[in-house]
Amino acid sequence: MRAEGVKLCPALADAPVTERWAGVRPGTPDHAPFIGETVTPGLYVAAGHYRNGILLAPVTARMIADQILGQETGPLAAAFTTRRAYSATA
């Protein structure tokens, strides 16, 4: 990024870097988070919410807890299964 900035504004070449920040927002190819057990039995994930992680934290926590405890997860669980990452249509 710095190199590109210097191309646009050569005076930046000598400017000190005073701060760095990265806003990583992990997502999935189909834009739906992975919530649930992976193909490795007992390994659960809740990831890939992109920028909505904080907003979806309460419902994600409920869904993952229900799955871990073997309770009914409701109709949304299938939409967020980790197994779709391994399907030919994912």
- 37 DSSP β-pair partners: 44
Pairing status of strand 44-47 against strand 34-37: antiparallel
- Domain edges within the chain: 24-86
CB 34 within 8 A of CB 28: yes
Asked whether 48 and 28 are in contact (CB, 8 A), the reply is yes
Give the tens place of pLDDT for each residue, 28-65: 999 999 999 999 999 999 999 998 999 999 999 999 99
**Cβ-Cβ contacts under 8 Å for 39 (sequence gap 6 or more):** 82, 83, 86
pLDDT, tens digit (0-9, with 9 covering 90-100), for 62-83: 999 999 999 988 888 899 999 8
